[in-house]
Amino acid sequence: MTQTKKTVVGVVAVQGAFAEHSHVMHELGCEVVEIRQPSHLQEFDALILPGGESTAQRKLLHDLGLFEPLRQQIEGGTPVLATCAGMILLAQEVREGQGSGVPARHAQFVSEYPTFATMPVTVERNAYGRQLGSFKTVTDFAGLGKVEATFIRAPYAAQVGEGVKVLANVEGKDVAVRYRNMVALAFHPELDGDVIHRWFLDEVVAH
């Protein structure tokens, strides 16, 4: 009997929609490691940064001592699938959208809890306002065709730097981008089957 080594996927699991990603990757035959503390870190074939609340995630990643080792893995080329809050975590610049309200002591927070800042994009968070924060649509995704996309108080890539490829655009907003080993999505692919995860494993991780 031959055994091929399973793809090991680290799912950052400090807050948010990590369980759904773990489930999808497990169903696709991957070994899944949920990362909650530094002892869970190892060399991963791929990483997932789930949706949730980016401010809470930033604080927790720093406080738990996960931020710097993860940043190094991402910068070192480990393939990353980042969704929603995860997109915010990868962005070099984050700006507040109309749905954010006025964050308290914002400047202090930003300097104490920086993002990974490994992707040259400016992301606007809570870009769709509070009322229109959640919706579902179908969009063209580069190399995949039509995919369902569920947005929940979503960000989008307001500006993209050199070397960033736009994979999907919804109503004039770039909602899926790739830069080197990093794929960032404004929506939640884990809520609409496994199409994007499959694509990520085939086109980004396996290459």
Q: Residues in the site for ligand GLN, rule: CB under 6 A?
A: 51-54, 84-85, 88, 125-126, 152-153
Smallest gap from residue 102 Cβ to ligand GLN (A): 14
d(CA 160, CA 126): 18
* 126 or 181: CB nearest ligand GLN: 126
Smallest gap from residue 51 Cβ to ligand GLN (A): 3
Is residue 27 annotated as a catalytic residue, yes or no? no
Of the residues 30, 124, 188, 197, only one is catalytic, namely: 188
Please return the burial class of 101, using the count of CB atoms within 10 Å of its CB with bins 0-12, 13-18 and 19+: exposed
Is residue 84 annotated as a catalytic residue, yes or no? yes
One-character DSSP codes across 58-109? HHHHHHTT-HHHHHHHHHTT--EEEETHHHHHHEEEEEE-TTS---TTHHHH
Smallest gap from residue 5 Cβ to ligand GLN (A): 32
Of the residues 21, 84, 124, 197, only one is catalytic, namely: 84
Is residue 23 annotated as a catalytic residue, yes or no? no
d(CA 38, CA 60): 12
* 66 or 84: CB nearest ligand GLN: 84
d(CA 151, CA 206): 27
* 88 or 196: CB nearest ligand GLN: 88
Catalytic residues: 84, 188, 190
